[in-house]
A and B are shown apart, each in its own frame.
Chain A
């Protein structure tokens, strides 16, 4: 059964309407804009990965907040960003720097969404990225010189900035915003790639007179969160941009925002040219747990009850993967990626949450998973060969105390405090698993002492690459989950590995560098992680030359 799968997958891949495989380049944040994080390269495969060797390493020179990025590769040149908005163009074959651009941030950022960055977008002769002080910047792709920049909003006023990578669609660069844990009203903005002029904006919280506005009590819509802090996907056939929207604010205290609170914790599908809403699917109405729907939107096609469907998979921070029809937002299925989940009892066949277990105001209450999620933001991977989805899960809980809180412009807006706690069942820790993306059937599980906080990369060599907090970068057999190769990089992993090819040679690249908001929380459950060494190094691997 398992042995036959890979071969069958090859055939099926050719029939896919949207091919999300990367080849020589890694052109977008999620590989291609369907967010598969899958490379069709197979030079490095199950039989030879054991001989994989480091080819070169690159130091960003600024060690702060972890190395959280996905590098991009276009025509043999790698573009990568690191903390404090350092951007580099590197010869992807040799590791030699071509140019660098160090954005001048103010000395004090003073908001919690810093100093990490998750990546850049490349296209139209430019390199685009968002900054810690809430600017969008376009650099000349060849020289690294600034061409335009636009300050989206005063970060001191909004308590928001940009840490996610932009998404390039036709002549627009689409950029999200943080601020889901601040008194802020979220949005998604598209800018003209040539001039930087705003092309459209979609508010993730409808204003007065707009449909959905009545899902917010009183003035709560003005500070209701709905951040778009990661990167969306794009289906060129449907011309739809998909973006996951974050939690409602205040995170834990919901009494002041009675209602379902659209479009927080929702997948939104927008017309790429106009930014108009085509459909939405809300995973968690009236969120009081900080369970974002902000993670990646994986676009894949698969049969459902025998009929081929265009689907979208999104892992919610609450620990459930939601699958919807990406043409219309119809609910298909939901399945858990973590075992310790007590905020709901389940999801019914229509997508309704069953048995909501809301923390009461003023009392300390155990919620599972913790605010860190049944999975973290780092992205899963879909392989068209196995037709499986590879993603992590985390087993942990928290003691949360909900308190009433008034919104204050520019400041945090949590509505409570939390403390990590061990899970109800089994030890605290993480795992990486292979699933049928529609049914959630689990094929294998790789256990980890600590939560796995790096993204997955799958390849046509039937490998799954990822890293762990202790600094190991490793490859698993995509079919069996068996560990085939391991390389200690010396600092924990919070970024996203990629694969690319230059002059016919396949490379695998990964950022290594412990840090980030979540890494800072880990000592509450694992005290020894407080001393895990930070870093900011890009490691690149290849097979040794044949002799």
Chain B
């Protein structure tokens, strides 16, 4: 795919329409705030105006970002053709010698770049918004889906069995309402009760341990806290039968949880 894109870049002389398109995308996505500045005139990010970069380099960096830097990977945020247009535009800036960019960098009436924040089907969109809803004690402070959220447990994209049943793809999907009540009622075999030498006791998930220390997620409140103890300070770790999901999902109504289930099922199964 990259090779193909490179080939295309090499073959096509930069057409004015492509550059103009790249200019708009750049203005919306790359010049903003503390990044590359208007028309690449420098910001928090490096100046691009009046500098020569190879298009291969620009393409790689724009697509994949620069590790250990503020330069993000734009693949997934911009379409391939949009990234290529930006590359053509940045390449066209190499001959710009005027330090002052155009007076009006973005023509009026140009809207923001269309970067959908959720690309799934509409029926899953509501649950997606609820899962990540920053305004409440939300699912994503303990769970991740598709790499988003804080995964102290497994990414829920992989929870096919729970969402579909024991034999995936052959059995009908479980009823959303039934799953919702399960979310409320179920505990988890992974949740432990940690007892410390100090007498403190709390529901915990085991994060990691070695010969000298134990790391536990303290589940007393959200967000969970990863706490590190010397082994001798942890008296016992036993299965916690009392822990229930219910105490942590009370920010959601039953019907909202059903929406969340619809979203999770789509994320895990594609339907």
Q: Is there contact, CB below 8 Å, between A417 and B31?
A: yes
User: Within 8 Å CB of B41, what residues of A?
Assistant: 419, 523-524
A411-B77, A419-B37 known; A527 vs B218 contact (CB < 8 Å): no
A108-B65, A185-B135 known; A403 vs B44 contact (CB < 8 Å): no
B255 close to A (CB within 8 Å): no
Chain B interface size, as a band, is: 35 or more
Which of A150, A195, A364, A408 lies in contact with B117, CB distance below 8 A? A408
Which of A111, A185, A399, A418 lies in contact with B70, CB distance below 8 A? A111
B141 close to A (CB within 8 Å): yes
B153 close to A (CB within 8 Å): no
A203 to B134, CA, bound (A): 11
A150-B224, A184-B134 known; A418 vs B42 contact (CB < 8 Å): no
User: Within 8 Å CB of A530, what residues of B?
Assistant: 42, 47
B225 close to A (CB within 8 Å): yes
A158 to B150, CA, bound (A): 12
A197 close to B (CB within 8 Å): yes
CB of B89, distance to nearest CB on chain A (Å): 15
User: Within 8 Å CB of B134, what residues of A?
Assistant: 153, 157-158, 184-185, 222
- Of A3-11, A141-149, A462-470, the stretch lying at the interface with chain B is A141-149
A157 to B225, CA, bound (A): 19
A346 to B176, CA, bound (A): 59
CB of A387, distance to nearest CB on chain B (Å): 37
A222-B134, A409-B117, A417-B32 known; A152 vs B37 contact (CB < 8 Å): no
User: Within 8 Å CB of B220, what residues of A?
Assistant: 195, 197
B166 close to A (CB within 8 Å): no
Q: Is there contact, CB below 8 Å, between B34 and A521?
A: yes
In residues 118-172 of chain B, which contact A (Cβ within 8 Å)? Answer: 132, 134-135, 140-141, 144, 147-150
User: Within 8 Å CB of B32, what residues of A?
Assistant: 412, 414, 417
In residues 154-209 of chain B, which contact A (Cβ within 8 Å)? Answer: none
A395 close to B (CB within 8 Å): no
A218 close to B (CB within 8 Å): no
Q: Is there contact, CB below 8 Å, between A419 and B221?
A: no
A520 to B47, CA, bound (A): 9
A410 to B117, CA, bound (A): 9
B228 close to A (CB within 8 Å): yes
B35 close to A (CB within 8 Å): yes
CB of B254, distance to nearest CB on chain A (Å): 19
User: Within 8 Å CB of A158, what residues of B?
Assistant: 134
A503 close to B (CB within 8 Å): no
Residue of B nearest to A197 (CB): B221
Which of B33, B99, B103, B225 lies in contact with A181, CB distance below 8 A? B33
CB of A403, distance to nearest CB on chain B (Å): 6
A149-B226, A521-B44 known; A114 vs B33 contact (CB < 8 Å): no
Residue of A nearest to B65 (CB): A108
A404 to B108, CA, bound (A): 9
CB of B193, distance to nearest CB on chain A (Å): 16
A455 close to B (CB within 8 Å): no
A23 close to B (CB within 8 Å): no
Which of A157, A203, A523 lies in contact with B148, CB distance below 8 A? A157
Q: Is there contact, CB below 8 Å, between B149 and A154?
A: yes
User: Within 8 Å CB of B223, what residues of A?
Assistant: 150-153, 198
Q: Is there contact, CB below 8 Å, between A363 and B112?
A: no
A110 to B4, CA, bound (A): 26
Q: Is there contact, CB below 8 Å, between A524 and B42?
A: yes
User: Within 8 Å CB of B16, what residues of A?
Assistant: none
CB of A482, distance to nearest CB on chain B (Å): 35
User: Within 8 Å CB of B34, what residues of A?
Assistant: 112, 181, 517, 520-521
CB of B80, distance to nearest CB on chain A (Å): 19
Chain A 410-435: CB-based contact to B (< 8 A → 1; otherwise 0)? 11101001110000000000000000
A100 close to B (CB within 8 Å): no
CB of B182, distance to nearest CB on chain A (Å): 25
CB of B201, distance to nearest CB on chain A (Å): 12
Q: Is there contact, CB below 8 Å, between B148 and A156?
A: yes
Q: Is there contact, CB below 8 Å, between A110 and B72?
A: yes
A198-B221, A362-B108, A405-B112 known; A417 vs B42 contact (CB < 8 Å): no
CB of A327, distance to nearest CB on chain B (Å): 31
A107 to B71, CA, bound (A): 11
A108 to B73, CA, bound (A): 8
User: Within 8 Å CB of A185, what residues of B?
Assistant: 134-135
A353 close to B (CB within 8 Å): no
A488 close to B (CB within 8 Å): no
CB of A208, distance to nearest CB on chain B (Å): 8
B106 close to A (CB within 8 Å): yes
CB of B78, distance to nearest CB on chain A (Å): 11
A410 to B115, CA, bound (A): 11
Q: Is there contact, CB below 8 Å, between B227 and A195?
A: yes
User: Within 8 Å CB of A364, what residues of B?
Assistant: 103-105
User: Within 8 Å CB of B47, what residues of A?
Assistant: 523, 530
User: Within 8 Å CB of B28, what residues of A?
Assistant: 403
B67 close to A (CB within 8 Å): yes
List 29 A-B residue pairs with CB atoms under 8 Å apart, sorted by A's residue number. A110-B73, A148-B226, A150-B225, A151-B150, A153-B223, A154-B144, A154-B148, A154-B149, A154-B150, A156-B148, A195-B227, A196-B225, A198-B222, A362-B108, A364-B105, A403-B112, A411-B77, A417-B106, A418-B38, A419-B38, A419-B105, A517-B44, A520-B34, A521-B37, A521-B42, A521-B43, A523-B42, A523-B47, A524-B37
What 10 A-B pairs come out closest when comparing CB atoms? A362-B108, A110-B72, A196-B225, A517-B34, A107-B67, A520-B44, A517-B44, A419-B38, A405-B112, A148-B227
Given contacts A109-B70, A404-B111, A517-B33, 7 further A-B contacts (CB under 8 A): A108-B72, A108-B73, A154-B144, A197-B220, A364-B105, A419-B105, A520-B44
